[in-house]
Structure 1
Amino acid sequence: MTEARKPGIMDGVKIIDLTSIIFGPLATQMLGDLGADVIKIESPEGDLLRQVQPARNSMMGAAFLGSNRNKRSVVLDLKTDTGRARLRKLLLDADVMISSVRPAALARLSLDPETLQRENPNLITVAATGYGQDGPYASKPAFDDIVQSVSGLASLPSLRDADAKPDYSPTVLADKLGGVTTAYAVMAALFHRERTGQAQHVEVPMFETLTAFLLTEHLDGATFDDVPKDFGYSRMLVPHRRPVQTMDGFITILPYTNLQWARFFGAVGRDDMVEHPWVTNMEARSRNIGALYDMVAQIALTRSTQEWVDLMETVDIPAMPVRNLADLPNDPHLVATGFFQQVEHPSEGAIWTTRPPVRFSATPARHDHRPAPKLGEHTEEILGPDGD
C-alpha cells in the first residue's frame, strides 16, 4: 500500500465543526489532517474569516484557506427549526461536535451537551470558549487580542523594561494555542471513550489555556510566595536575551549547559572564562545571565553570520541565523523535508500550504485529503437534494 493510500490515524471519525475564525478551525484542520471527516457547519453568511484579505475570489481569503483544508462545508441556518433539525440528524452518528458558539446560546437552541448526548450517547461535545464557564467572565466575548491582554501576555515587555508599553504578539497566539490544545483534548476524549465506552463534555477556555502556557516559566518566584506576586522568569527578561548582531546580520547563539558555555568561550579564545563560576555553576550563571548574554553580544560582532554558524557547529553549540519569513521557502532544511507544498485548488488555482509537521510512520498526516471548501460546497452531498 502506498503512503498516499494509507488511512490517517483518525480515519472513520466524524466531527461536526461549529467553529469559526482561527481557534476552532485550526483544531479541526489538525484533526482533518489526521484523517477525520470534518463537516464544517456554516451560517448562510459563512465563516467571517472567509472575508479577510488577501483573496483571489470572494469568500476564499488566504487566512481561511490556511485553516480550513481537509473539511467539507454545509450551510445551515441554526436560527430556524429546519436548520437545527438537520444539524441534529448529522449529530446522530457523529463522534465529536466542536463549537465556538457561546454555551448559553447553544442551550437556547437546545443544542447543549446534555440534550445532544441523550440523543447520541457516544457523542463527545467540545466547547471552544473564551473563558471557563464556572467564572465571572463566562459570558464575555473573546478574541485573540482580548485574551493576549487579559492573560498578561501583552504586558510582558514591561517585565523587561518598566517604560515599555503593552504590546500584542504579532501572531494570533491565543487562537493558535487554543486550537492545538483543543485538538489534543479531542484525541484524549476519543481515547477515553475507546477504553471505557463513555463519551464526555470537554471545555477548552482560551484565557486559561494561554495563562497556563505563560506561567509554565513565568510563575517563577511566585511559586514560593505566600501570596503569588514575584512573577517573571529572569532569563527570559534580561535586556540582552535577543538575537545578536554579527558583522553582516543577526544570529542566535545559545550555549546552555556548563559544558556548552565552556566550549563557547574556548572557541572564541576567552580561556579566562572557561573556569569562571558563571560557566561552571548553573546557579551563579542564572543570577548573572544578563552579563553573559552581554558578553556574547559583544563577541558576536567579530565574525560574519555564516562564520558563526560554522564555528558553533564545530563545537556543537546551538546557533542559527535570524530568518525573515520570506527566507523560509528557500531554507535548505525545509526544502529537503518538503515542508512547503504548492497544490492546485479547484477554485483558487495554485496556492501554497505547509505539510503537517508531525510524522507518523504507519498513519501519515496529510495536507491534501481535501482542499478548503467553498461556502456550502458539500451541503447537497451530505444532506441530499432535499436537505434531508
Structure 2
Amino acid sequence: MNGALKGLKVLDFSTLLPGPYATMMLADMGADVLRIESPTRPDLVKLLPPMDAGTSTAHAYLNRGKASLALDLKQPEAVEVVKRLVLEYDILVEQFRPGVMARLGLDYETLRAINPRLIYCSVTGYGQTGPYRDRAGHDINYLATAGVSSYTGRRDTGPCPIGVQVADVGGGSFHAVMGILAAVIERQGSGEGQSIDISMTDASFAMNAMAGAAWLGGGVEAELESTALNGGSFYDYYRTRDGRYFAVGSLEPQFMAQLCQALGCEEFASQGLSPDPRVQQQIKQRLSEAFADQDFAYWCERFAALDACVEPVLSLAEASQHPQLVAREMVVEVPREDGSLQPQPASPLRFSRSHSRPTRVGGALGSDGGRVLRSLGYSEAEVDAMKAARITL
C-alpha cells in the first residue's frame, strides 16, 4: 500500500519541535520530505539526550522518514539549489523568525515567481504580523499569552507546566498540517499555491474552546480550579495510599453511580452535576479519602471491570505496554541506518487502504546530499566543489 500523501514533495527548513513534528506527520502519510539543514548550526534536538546508537532519540523520532540535505543558506550557491528544488518540491515549511527567509532571498514572493503552485507554510510563535512578530518564545510563553495558563493549575501553587508541548504540537504542528492539506485541496481547483501563516499563540488561543467561548460570549472568566474540567469539580486526579494517582472523569450520572458504589460513598451518587462549589469540594474530599485508603494495585483491580470513566495514571513504560495501545500497535519498530530497529511512537492515523508506517529513523546531517544534488543536474565536480567550499557536506 502507498501512503495517502504519496506524490506530495515537501521542503522542510524547520528545527526543534513544531515544524519537524508537522513534517513527520506528512512523511508518515507518504509525502516525500527533504530536510534542508545548516552544516554549521545544528538543530539543538540532535543534542538532546538520551542517545541511541549515537543519535538523539528525539531527533530520530521527529525526523523519521525524511531525507537530509545540508546547505549553508548564506551562500548564493545554496540559495540557487533551493530555487531548483522548488520546481519539484512545491510545499515548503519554515520556522524562522519573520523576515529571515526574505533576507536569504527565499521568501514566498520570490519562490512563488519560480513556481506559482508553491504552498509556503511559516510556523512561528506569534505570527508574521503584530507587535510580537519578532519576539522570542517557547511553548510556555505562547500558552501564557493565549490565556491558557491562567486557568490551568492549582490555586495554591499557580499555573503548571504541561508535560506535552500543547502550543508547539497542538498549536503549531497540527495546524500547519491542516493548513497545508487544505491548501493542497484548494490548489487542485485554482492551480495556484499560497502562503500559510501559523501562529502558535493564535492556535493556542483558539483552543480555548470552552473557556474562551464562555468569556467572549458570556463574560465569564475562567480561573484556576473554577470550572468543571480544570479542578473546580470532582473531575480530577486522586492520590492512592502508595503515592500513585487515578484519573476520575465520571461526569455522567451512570458513571458517577458506579464510581460512588466502588468507593463506598453512595450518598454523593446523585450530586455529581451539582453547580454548587461547596458540594463539589465535599465530593472531592470524600473521593480523596477513599482513594488514599488503598494502594494503586487495589484500585486498578477494582475499576478494571467497571465502565465508570476512571483510569489509573500510567507511566510511559506502562502506557507502552497497555493492552489497548498494544492492540492499536502504537509502538512501531523503525529501521535505523544500519538496518537494526528502534521502537518509537507510531502514527495515530489509521487508513483502510493507505499505510502510515515510517521507513527509517531521522538520518545523519546531509546524508542524502549527493543524491539530491545529482538529481537536480549537478555534476560530480560541482558537488565536490560545493563540499570543498563548505556549502554542503
Q: TM-score range by the shorter chain?
A: 0.7 to 0.9
Per the TM alignment, residue 170 of structure 1 is displaced from its structure 2 partner at its CA by: 3.2
Contact 2:236 2:247 in 1 (8 A): yes
Per the TM alignment, residue 69 of structure 1 is displaced from its structure 2 partner at its CA by: 0.2
SS of the residue corresponding to residue 77 of structure 2 reads helix
Task: Note the 1:38-49 alignment, pairs <5 A.
Answer: 38-45=33-40, 46-49=42-45
Which residue pairs with 2:361 in the alignment? 371
Task: Note the 1:208-357 alignment, pairs <5 A.
Answer: 208-213=202-207, 215-219=208-212, 221-224=214-217, 229=221, 234-235=227-228, 236-238=230-232, 241-248=235-242, 249-274=244-269, 276=270, 278-279=271-272, 282=273, 284=275, 288-312=279-303, 314-346=305-337, 350-357=341-348
In the aligned structure 1, how far is the partner of 2:53 from the partner of 2:241? 45
Which residue pairs with 2:166 in the alignment? 173
SS of the residue corresponding to residue 182 of structure 1 reads helix
Alpha carbons of structure 1 residues 273 and 76: separation in structure 2 relative to 1, 3 Å? closer
Which residue pairs with 1:50 in the alignment? 46
Alpha carbons of structure 1 residues 269 and 63: separation in structure 2 relative to 1, 3 Å? closer
Per the TM alignment, residue 382 of structure 1 is displaced from its structure 2 partner at its CA by: 0.8
In the aligned structure 1, how far is the partner of 2:10 from the partner of 2:352? 24
TM-score normalised over the length of structure 1? 0.85
Amino acid at match of 1:107: A
348, 355, 380: which one aligns with 2:370? 380
Q: Structure 1 residues 22-31 or 184-193, which shifts more? A: 184-193
138, 141, 154: which one aligns with 1:143? 138
Deviations 1:153-193 (A, max 9, x none): 455456x31x4255432343322221122112211111221
Deviations 1:67-112 (A, max 9, x none): 0001000011111110000001000122211111223111222222
The answer to whether 1:187 aligns with 2:177 is no
The answer to whether 1:127 aligns with 2:122 is yes
Q: Structure 1 residues 256-265 or 356-365, which shifts more? A: 256-265
In the aligned structure 2, how far is the partner of 1:292 from the partner of 1:270? 9
Contact 1:116 1:123 in 2 (8 A): yes
Contact 2:123 2:199 in 1 (8 A): yes
In the aligned structure 2, how far is the partner of 1:24 from the partner of 1:273? 47
Amino acid at match of 2:7: G
Alpha carbons of structure 1 residues 31 and 122: separation in structure 2 relative to 1, 3 Å? same
Contact 1:220 1:230 in 2 (8 A): no
193, 202, 205: which one aligns with 1:199? 193
Q: Structure 1 residues 45-54 or 129-138, which shifts more? A: 45-54
Structure 2: runs of 5 or more not aligned: 375-379, 387-393
Structure 1: runs of 5 or more not aligned: 1-5
SS of the residue corresponding to residue 381 of structure 1 reads helix
105, 108, 112: which one aligns with 2:103? 108
Per the TM alignment, residue 220 of structure 1 is displaced from its structure 2 partner at its CA by: 5.9
Amino acid at match of 1:52: L
Q: What is the aligned length?
A: 373
Alpha carbons of structure 1 residues 373 and 314: separation in structure 2 relative to 1, 3 Å? closer
Deviations 1:327-376 (A, max 9, x none): 23332333333322344412595432121111111112112x23311100
The percentage of aligned residue pairs carrying the same residue is 26
Alpha carbons of structure 1 residues 71 and 242: separation in structure 2 relative to 1, 3 Å? same
55, 62, 65: which one aligns with 1:70? 65
Q: Structure 1 residues 73-82 or 240-249, which shifts more? A: 240-249
Contact 2:263 2:287 in 1 (8 A): no
Amino acid at match of 2:253: N
Alpha carbons of structure 1 residues 253 and 35: separation in structure 2 relative to 1, 3 Å? same
Contact 1:241 1:290 in 2 (8 A): no
* CA-based RMSD: 2.8
Which residue pairs with 1:99 in the alignment? 94
80, 85, 110: which one aligns with 1:85? 80
The answer to whether 1:19 aligns with 2:5 is no
Per the TM alignment, residue 38 of structure 1 is displaced from its structure 2 partner at its CA by: 0.1
Which residue pairs with 2:391 in the alignment? none
Contact 1:264 1:317 in 2 (8 A): yes
Amino acid at match of 1:55: M
SS of the residue corresponding to residue 243 of structure 1 reads strand
Alpha carbons of structure 1 residues 225 and 264: separation in structure 2 relative to 1, 3 Å? closer
In the aligned structure 2, how far is the partner of 1:273 from the partner of 1:230? 26
SS of the residue corresponding to residue 361 of structure 1 reads coil
Which residue pairs with 1:3 in the alignment? none
In the aligned structure 1, how far is the partner of 2:264 from the partner of 2:174? 45
SS of the residue corresponding to residue 326 of structure 1 reads helix
Contact 1:27 1:183 in 2 (8 A): yes
